[in-house]
Amino acid sequence: MKVFQFISIYILYFTASFSFSQEHISSCNTKLSIFHELVKSKNYDAAYESWYYVTKNCPKLSIAVYSDGEKILKHKIKTSKDSEQKEFINTLLNLWQKRIEYFPSKTPRGLYGSKGCQLMFDQKKLLQKKNTELFKCFNTAYKTDNDTFTNPKSLYTYFSLTVDLYNDGKKTIKKVFTNYDIIVEKIEEEVKNYSEKLNTLSTREDSGIVLSKKELKLKSVYQNYLKNYTLISKNIDAKLGVIADCKNLIPLYHKEFDNYKEDAVWLKRAVNRMYQKKCTEAPLYEKLVKAYDAVAPSADTKYFVATILIKKEKLKEAEKYLKASYDLETDSFKKSKRAYSIGLILKTLNNYSKARQYFKKSLQHNPSNGKPHIAIASMYAASAKNCGESNFNKRAVYWLAAKEARKALKINPSIKEEVSKYVSRYMALAPSKQDIFKCACSGKIITIGCWINDKITVPKL
């Protein structure tokens, strides 16, 4: 009898619990639907109560608890102050941690880890966070999942904290350079990624295909990412500042050379930085390059050997190494970068014709990069006085320069300000409307000789 009573009580309890659970889930689903619709209409304040109930009682119910919750809390943070704002910030940080816990397959650790670190950095005064704690946060997020740690702002903050801690005597100069290399290589990887995506869309456009609204939106996103990566690259170099001058680099690499003389990665980074910081006159630079070429001969090593030969004024031999450097590169994006670098060297040596060949090769491999067009335009402008039989024809070269510069703007709107300055300068030096009227050559085609070997149509009046 007692056994029967126990079973009856258990069944009643289980039934009641199940009924309560079902009612509880039903209530969560109802509130989920309410806050989701309110979030879609951006009525975040009204959505907060229903969202808070679900996140406390049914945190595993849906990913919408976290995606919508992020929007709600960001609004709350923006519209609150002091202790209330601090509470909402901590709630958002906790929300991202819960998302990682409950929806790991939909929550990239590097992305959400860096978002949390960035929020704490942006609000470090209110949250009373120290640089050492913030650096540890970014460092952990990057090491946990660097594939999805791609946000330009967070990459810059991560490096900036490294330098700040060095200035406070809490990081070594070696650590600064190591993090610099890691982050710069990461930026280059992401630039390649977004450039290739942008090139795919640009190729479709060039073939006459009208891009869909979704594709146009993606194109804008890719262009913005590339613009931001360019910006933070400049800011990172500026933050590094005098720390990475030859005075610091040479003793450091000299001290570490024997330990790393067969480490291709270390040699590559050392040579790259010495080259970028114009420490190429130091005997150590040649020593590093030769060691790099001996350990891992590649497109990179041939390029750096060429820079040494140029320094020694062995230009013909240097050109052979530059060509080998280009030919050995197999990755299309890197081949574009290498062609552009070689073009700049040849441009500096006033070998404009060969420089243009490499700039055009650069465009073939990465048509979304406007820099080669700007470089070609500047060479045209520099040759204006030497390419043309008459003064009018010489000045007409500036039209060609402006035309070439505009090509950069067409494929890369993010450099509009820079390109506009070049175009304005070239057009100011080109023949005026009065000049065109006097020569009676409106609409005529002018052949431009010398190395340029091109034609330009005189603007119609």
CATH number of 302's domain? 1.25.40.10
Instruction: State whether 8 and 103 are in the same domain.
Output: yes
pLDDT value of position 21: 60
How many domains, in total, are found in the chain?
3
Does residue 314 form part of some domain? yes
Shared-domain flag, residues 324 and 424? no
Pick from 297, 307, 241, 232: which is nearest to 267 by CA? 297
Note whether residue 128 is domain-resident: no
Whether residue 461 sits in one domain with residue 407: yes
Q: Are residues 365 and 381 in the same domain?
A: no
Whether 4 and 89 map to the same domain: the answer is yes
Helices 299-311, 283-295: inter-axial angle, 10-degree rounding: 150
Give 173-176's long-range contacts (Cβ < 8 A, gap of 24+).
173/243, 173/248, 173/252, 174/252, 174/256, 176/240, 176/243
Does any domain span residue 309?
yes
Please tell me whether residue 370 adopts helix, strand or coil conformation: coil
Report the chain's terminal Cα–Cα distance, integer Å.
111
Question: Cα–Cα distance between 146 and 111 in angstroms, integer?
Answer: 9
Give yes or no: residues 339 and 385 share one domain: no
- From 321, 353, 369, the end of a domain falls on 369
Do 22 and 90 share a structural domain?
yes
The answer to whether 77 touches 92, Cβ cutoff 8 Å, is: yes
Task: List the chain residues with pLDDT less than 50.
Answer: 1-4, 6-20
Tell me if 239 is assigned to some domain: no
Instruction: Examine residue 165 and state whether it is found in any structural domain, yes or no.
Output: no
Write the CB contacts of 251 (distance below 8 Å, at least 6 apart in sequence).
Answer: none
In a domain, 272, yes or no: no
**Residue 99 has which token pair?**
């998302």
Question: Same domain for 344 and 436?
Answer: no
Q: How far is CA 308 from CA 250, 317, 320, in A?
A: 17, 11, 13
Q: Which of 62, 80, 107 is the last residue of a domain?
A: 107
Please give the distance of CA 275 from its chain centroid, rounded to a whole number: 21
Claim to verify: residue 13 and residue 51 sit in the same structural domain: yes
Domain boundary at 315, 350, 369, which? Answer: 369
Is residue 433 situated within a structural domain? yes
432 with 347, same domain: the answer is: no
Alpha carbons 417 and 424: distance in angstroms, whole number: 11
In-domain check, residue 438: yes
Distance CA 107, CA 90 (A): 19
Nearest CA to 139 among 120, 162, 121?
162
The answer on 338 and 420 residing in a single domain is: no
What are the two backbone dihedrals, phi and then psi, of residue 447, each rounded to the nearest 5 degrees? -90, 125
Structural domain of 411: 376-461
Number of Cβ within a 10 Å radius of residue 113: 25
Residues 316 and 384 in one domain: no
